[in-house]
Structure 1
Amino acid sequence: MTAVMMLAAVFLLGIDGAAVFHLERTLPLSSNSTSMEQLIARDRARHARILRESTAVHGVVSFPVYGSADADLFGLYYTKIKLGSPPREFKVVIDTGSDVLWVMSNTCVNCPRSSNLQIQPTFFDTTASSTARVIPCTHKYCAPFNQSGTAWCSRNGQCGYTIRYLDSSATSGVYVKDEFHFDSLLPGSGIANCSSAPILFGVSTYQSGYLTSTDFTVGGILGFGRGDLSVFSQLSSRGLIPRVFSHCLRGEGSGGGIFVMGKVLAPGIMYTPLVPSQSVFFHLSFSAKYVFIVITMHFAKKKAKF
């Protein structure tokens, strides 16, 4: 079977002006005075310097990807995230077709308690996290949710939500604000620095449809859509990461891959701007000389204030 590698890298441009730089030659004009080994060594040094400079300016958050598109193995891709204080690990499906990150509540009445994927689901307990705060209907954070048409006010004044998916399954719960933990690369090195930031996400107390099945149960869904509620939009709106992401989904063997929020300047990585469109999706365009599987992504058009 031919290995299939899916690679997508997207960034949003916001440049109003232009800059002119004068370039000077660092190598002599004579090609005989510089060996190929020297050229390769200098090129590697240049790329290393670019990587150091890029991580010094931009944050890079990396998540390992597990699973496979092969229905006989997983039929989905998921990653691991940590929420709360103390942090707890949750395995969540990566979904570019929705915005909200949600995990299952420990009080959920019909959430699957096991998974045929041999993954033990983790449940979120708002009382067990010292930094968890349930969002009330009167809070300013609830306004964007109500505008999206997915939010509602519960009897006890909490900001609730109902999210419906194309397969007719749905999830309902309350919005919570808590710490989202992630590893970011330290400037000038490949060492990961543990960081955290408060984000808004859903804690589901009710599931319906396919989400009640144990066939593909993980622990929640990481919405990576264009809306203001996506984790990417929340982190980038605060300046914690640039509005750039990339991911590589491995299609052979046991699958897996990598998912990166932030821009990495490295040999072999190409970034492409989003194609302007009136669609609810953002589309990508690639050069014909490269072979890609076309993927649609979507992002927030403006910064959200969280």
Structure 2
Amino acid sequence: MTVTGTSIYARARMPFFFSVFIFILINSICAHFSSAKSPPEDLIRSLRSSSSPLILPLVLSTNSSPPSIEGNFRRQLQKEMHRSDNARMRLYDDLLTNGYYTTRIFIGNPPQEFALIVDSGSTVTYVPCSTCEQCGKHQDPRFQPDLSSTYQPVKCNVDCNCDSENVQCIYERQYAEMSSSSGVLGEDLISFGNESVLQPQRAVFGCENVETGDLFSQHADGIMGLGRGQLSIMDQLVEKGVISDSFSLCYGGMDVGGGAMVLGGISPPPDMVFSRSDSGRSPYYNIELKEINVAGKPLQLKPSIFDGKHGTVLDSGTTYAYLPEAAFEAFKDAIVNNLHPLKRIHGPDPNYNDICFSGAGSDVSQLSKSFPEVEMVFSNGQKLSLAPENYLFRHAKVHGAYCLGIFQNGKDPTTLLGGIVVRNTLVTYDRENERIGFWKTNCSELWERLHIPGASSPAPSASYSGNTTISVSPSLSPSGPPDSTFPGHFEVGVITFDMSLSVNYLDLMPHTSELAEYIAHELEVNINQVHLLNATSQGNGSRIQWAISPSGSSDYISNTTAMSIISRLTEHRVRLPDTFGSYKLVEWRVEPPKKRMWWQQHLLTLIVGIIVAVMLSLMTLVLWHVWRHRKHQTLGSYKPVNAAVPEHELQEL
């Protein structure tokens, strides 16, 4: 922001030395704000020179408030996580940034790791195969059947479609966004990470040979099919008797992402809202939606409008929500008519006629002051309350602006509810009892609060296994409390990490600024938070050290943001252009915020106080000086009559 103003001399004509003093004070304020936007220089210097930095785990603050329904449910769910019939898995990515959520699974022996989109609308799990003729560049290397001692192709039989030579079973899947996947079927060990108590299980999956559309260009490796069907990972695990016929998903909120997934049954919390889900109604997970209320008033629609074609479908693999034409128009008008003073603006993409509004501010928790509450009413009379983050997405170009994330479903009478509707909502797909439950909670924190003591962290990515060193202070463990130096809520000051790049050091150095921009984009931080600490030559490649500092005027990085940054680094989810070659994460460290002295914490207040005192003194001095000048001028120009020169006696003063 450019600040303009009038020169100090044009207003007060103060002495030169005084203007210099004010100039120094103003510069001090600017320096204070500038230092707040980047890590303290002495801390950066210490990071550059320190050979054994303090390593601390990231932990969420504990809640000391009295037991609540949510607290009791978390304790109950944590106990259930020890059961052998559950697979507990972490969710990654962000719904609107990536368009999906992923989880990590391992296939084969030795295990090969993959990031798969969690999709309740798909009935097959598949990953790119090493023999793929048309597969994009994804997050992890392709599956290599020859390297797995337990892999077996699924031979042609009467229960599957066969290849042209009638040797092996094949699969083909096409999606509404005009993307497709096809390949052969294989069987191998599938495991769900070290944080899951479910042992590896043999299961049938797809080995891709061709992918098109979004599937070709996406970052994730493939799809984890949770739908109803013979090839669904859920149906296979249930048929083996290793889990009960239920699974749960919990998607993070608008600004955070992440979440949790449980394969197997859990005891629902007492206030979970349920809707019947008729497996005979459609092959998809449906609910019996009968009414939508906006600001407490029902839309003037017949209940049958939500029962067209496939009915109301809940699909975790779809980003937004889509309503039949009449329902969409009624919903849009109700939202617009119940907005507090906001300005209608154009959407971020001129190719789409998005309905957007500015002036709501950036704080998600305050959106309910500008946007109305929405309720979904089920046929049993139970209601699911939707916060603004459940039907809005952020405008990509205008700060404090939001757009409707619910659209018209073309001429299709189906009501399709994507992931945006269930952000910060635990959704239980109780297939055994043909019902789907909804429970509002903070999904980004749910995983951490349900931590199993003694469970190890996920296995490292195969793309850098054996090359990553993550040190932990002897006095701390990943599941333990923070060090006594930082009781309660642990705060992260700076995150540093070392990368090993295959590109030559001399070729890399002219492009470090460009590399910093890519890192900022991949870690979802501002470019002024990314700082180059050191770069050295390492054989034919390079080793480069970075620091991620707090944003804006903050002194620390929030736990959620820090966990997101570290998970993206350690799971090798940072994508760099081919010009930088391949990279490996060598080491990462966390530093607490540097404690500031009292005068540093209150520097701005002190400076403002000094300026106010000086300005008041200056104004007093100037007024006194003007008064003296006018008094002297008046007295000096007065002349008694008897002392005047005769020709001046009649002159006017």
| TM-score normalised to structure 1 length | 0.66
Q: Which of 256, 264, 267 is residue 265 of structure 1 equivalent to?
A: 267
| Cα separation, 2, equivalents of 1:198 and 1:49 | 30
Aligned to 2:93, what secondary structure does the other structure show?
A: strand
After superposition, the C-alpha distances for 1:171-218 in whole angstroms (9 at most, x for unaligned) are 11110000011258xxxxxx75361110000000112233222xx231
Aligned to 2:92, the other structure's residue is in SS state strand
CA distance in 1, matches of 2:86, 2:273: 15
CA distance in 2, matches of 1:212, 1:46: 41
Give the match for residue 179 of structure 1. Answer: 189
Alignment match, 1:284: 287
Shift in Å at residue 228 of structure 1?
2.0
Amino acid at match of 1:176: G
The alpha-carbon deviation at position 103 of structure 1 amounts to 0.2
Q: Note closer, same or farther for the CA distance 1:298–1:246 as it changes in structure 2 (3 Å cut).
A: closer
Provide TM-score, normalisation by structure 2. Answer: 0.33
Matched, 1:135 2:154: yes
Post-superposition offset of 1:225: 0.9
Residue 108 of structure 1: aligned partner: 132
* Secondary structure class of the residue paired with 1:93: strand
CA contact 2:87–2:197 (8 Å) conserved in 1: no
Give the match's secondary structure for 1:252: coil
Give the structure 1 partner of residue 144 of structure 2: 125
Larger strand proportion of the pair: 1
Match of 2:101, SS state, is strand
1:183 and 1:274, CA in 2 relative to 1: closer, same or farther beyond 3 A? Answer: farther
State the distance in 1 between where 2:153 and 2:89 align.
Answer: 26
Alpha-carbon distance in structure 2 between the residues aligned to 1:47 and 1:81:
25
Deviation per CA, 1:262-283, whole angstroms, max 9, x where unpaired?
1233756737464225222232
1:212–1:182 CA distance, 2 compared to 1 (3 A): closer
How far apart, in 1, do the equivalents of 2:77 and 2:250 lie? 21
Q: In 1, distance between residues paired with 2:150 and 2:110?
A: 9
Identity, in percent, stands at 28
Match of 2:174, as an amino acid?
A: R
Alpha-carbon distance in 2 for matches of 1:49, 1:161: 40
Matched with 1:164 is 174
What amino acid is aligned across from residue 264 of structure 1 in structure 2?
Answer: I
Superposed CA RMSD:
3.5
Partner of 1:92: 116
Deviation sequence 1:37-67 (CA, Å, 0-9, x none): xx969xx899857864x55766111111112
* Aligned counterpart in structure 1 of residue 100 of structure 2, from 76, 81, 103: 76
Counterparts in 2 of 1:55 and 1:250: CA distance versus 1, 3 Å:
closer
The residue identity in structure 2 corresponding to 1:135 is V
Distance 1:290 1:256, change over 3 A: same
Q: Secondary structure of the equivalent of 1:86?
A: coil
Please say if 1:153 is aligned against 2:137.
no
Superposed CA offset, 1:217-274 (max 9, x none): 3111111111121111110111101011111111321411111111233756737464
Q: Output the CA distance in 1 between the equivalents of 2:196 and 2:126.
A: 25
Task: Check the 8 A contact 2:90/2:261 in 1, yes or no.
Answer: yes
Residues 298 and 204 of structure 1, relative CA distance in 2, 3 Å threshold: farther
Aligned equivalent of 1:245: 247
Q: 2:85 aligns with which of 59, 64, 79?
A: 59
Residue 274 to residue 240, structure 1, CA distance change in 2 (3 Å): farther
Structure 1 residues 137 and 192, CA gap change in structure 2 (3 angstroms): closer
Higher relative contact order (CA 8 A, sep 6+): 1
The answer to whether the aligner puts 1:235 opposite 2:237 as a matched pair is yes
Residues 1:252 and 1:48: Cα distance change in structure 2 (over 3 Å): closer
Q: How many residues align?
A: 238
Mapped partners of 2:117, 2:432: distance in 1: 20
Counterpart of 1:21 in structure 2 is none
Using the alignment, how far apart are the partners of 1:49 and 1:196 within structure 2?
25
- In our comparison, the structure showing a higher alpha carbon Rg is 2
Deviation string 1:98-124 (CA, Å, 9 cap, x unpaired) is 10000001121221124xxxxx23311
Q: What do the CA deviations read for 1:64-87 (whole angstroms, capped 9, x no partner)? A: 1112221xx211111111110011
Q: Deviations over 1:15-58 (max 9, x none)?
A: xxxxxxxxxxxxxxxxxxxxxxxx969xx899857864x55766
- Determine the structure 2 residue equivalent to 1:205: 209
